Amino acid sequence: KVRGTFITELFVKAKATQGSRSVRIEFTPNKKPYWPVVYYETGKARTLRADEPPFAVDDVSASVSESSRSGQQVLEVRTAAWKIEATARM
């Protein structure tokens, strides 16, 4: 969702190439829970945190780190063909 000249929310749906499973990731750093949430299988959810290992389903993975310079959250989503990074400045 884009508001003005910057993005305030990020929604990603990634489908694994190995099988038919998919994951949905929601990242709204200006609203609780402040951390990205991964939805997988049938409604299960997991909050991603910087101090935890990446979440993975087949060839789709998602992880969070903190920028060493600013302490901002950086969400990274990887698939077999893509790598997407989103940095929260809020």
- For the chain, strand residue ranges (E) read 2-3, 6-7, 10-15, 22-27, 37-40, 44-47, 55-57, 60-66, 73-78, 83-87
What's residue 43's pLDDT? 82
What's residue 55's pLDDT? 94
Per-residue pLDDT of the chain (90 residues; tens, 9 = 90+): 666 667 788 899 998 887 788 899 999 887 777 889 999 887 899 999 988 999 999 899 999 998 777 778 889 999 989 999 988 876
What's residue 68's pLDDT? 73
What's residue 7's pLDDT? 76
What's residue 53's pLDDT? 93
* Separation CA 85–CA 62 (nearest Å): 10
